[in-house]
């Protein structure tokens, strides 16, 4: 049941995030255009309730639990990832991300499908820093049966979701984003593969043209 709940959530989240579904829905109900992002975020939160309820209702047998210095290290990794997430917010337009700017600008039609190409300091090392930080948080916890299953499914979805997201970014930014993908790894940072500051600035400038 837990696996089915997560799979249903991932399927619905991917469907609602897809450009095709968004464009068809707004084609039928144009008044939804400015509201789409906000409603998408609200649904993404509400639809998490069933899998999370199952996760904590039936935890299963404890498989491993961090002890001693391992507990400190795992806790430190989680806190560092959370701090990295909040620090990275300064490089995003929070109103745009939530969906409030679309409402205030009264966007319609193709205006809502503008996918920004943001290269924050973390984007110089991984293409999807929020997913990467999320994986640190997920895998630094003690594991019971239900949590391990959830961690595996979430990891697989992050891999698949990052690829679906990149298809949209390539559709909007073309060769600029392809060049970025060639130079920066997706989820796991590699010491020999990253963007210098001047390279990041140049790519960001090209994406704005």
SS3 labels along the chain: CHHHHHHHHHHHHHHHHCHHHHHHHHHHCHHHHHHHHHHHHHHHHHCCHHHHHHHHHCCCCEEECCCHHHHHHHHHHHHHHHHHHHHHHHHCCHHHHHCHHHHHHCCCHHHHHCCCCCCCCHHHCCCCHHHHHHHHHHHCCCEEHHHHHHHHHHHHHHHHHHHHHHHHHHHHHCHHHHHHHHHCCCCCCECCECCCHHHHHHHHHHHCC
Distances (CA, A) of 30 to 25, 65, 100: 8, 51, 17
Interval 3-31 mean pLDDT: 88
Residue 209 has what pLDDT?
67
Interval 87-109 mean pLDDT: 77
Asked whether residue 117 carries a pLDDT value surpassing 80, the answer given is no
Domain range spanning residue 6? 2-207
Percent of the chain clearing pLDDT 70 (strictly above): 94
Residue 101 has what pLDDT?
77
User: Which residues lie below 8 Å from residue 176, measured CB to CB, with a gap of 6+?
Assistant: 117, 203, 206, 207
Residue 207 has what pLDDT?
72
Structure tokens at 94: 């929070």
Interval 104-121 mean pLDDT: 67
* Domains held by the chain: number: 1
Residue 205 has what pLDDT?
81
- Per-residue pLDDT tens over the stretch 21-52: 888 888 888 878 888 888 999 999 999 999 99
Compute the distance between CA of residue 111 and CA of residue 182 in angstroms, rounded to an integer. Answer: 28
Q: Band of the pLDDT at 190, cuts 50, 70, 90?
A: very high
Q: Tokens 């600035």 map to which residue?
A: 201
């Amino acid at each position: 049941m837990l696996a089915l709940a997560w799979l249903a959530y991932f399927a619905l989240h991917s469907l609602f995030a897809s450009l095709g579904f968004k464009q068809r829905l707004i084609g039928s109900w144009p008044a939804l255009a400015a509201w789409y992002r906000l409603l998408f975020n609200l649904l993404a939160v509400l639809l998490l309730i069933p899998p999370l309820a199952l996760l904590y209702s039936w935890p299963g047998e404890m498989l491993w639990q961090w002890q001693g210095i391992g507990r400190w290290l795992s806790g430190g990794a989680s806190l560092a990832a959370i701090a990295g997430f909040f620090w990275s917010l300064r490089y995003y337009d929070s109103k745009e991300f939530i969906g409030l700017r679309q409402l205030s600008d009264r966007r319609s039609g193709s205006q809502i499908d503008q996918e920004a190409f943001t290269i924050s300091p973390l984007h110089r090392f991984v293409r999807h820093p929020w997913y990467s930080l999320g994986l640190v948080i997920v895998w630094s916890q003690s594991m019971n049966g239900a949590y391990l299953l959830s961690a595996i499914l979430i990891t697989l979805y992050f891999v698949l979701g990052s690829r679906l997201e990149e298809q949209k970014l390539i559709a909007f930014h073309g060769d600029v984003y392809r060049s970025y993908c060639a130079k920066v790894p997706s989820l796991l940072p590699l010491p020999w593969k990253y963007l210098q500051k001047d390279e990041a600035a140049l790519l960001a400038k090209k994406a704005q043209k």
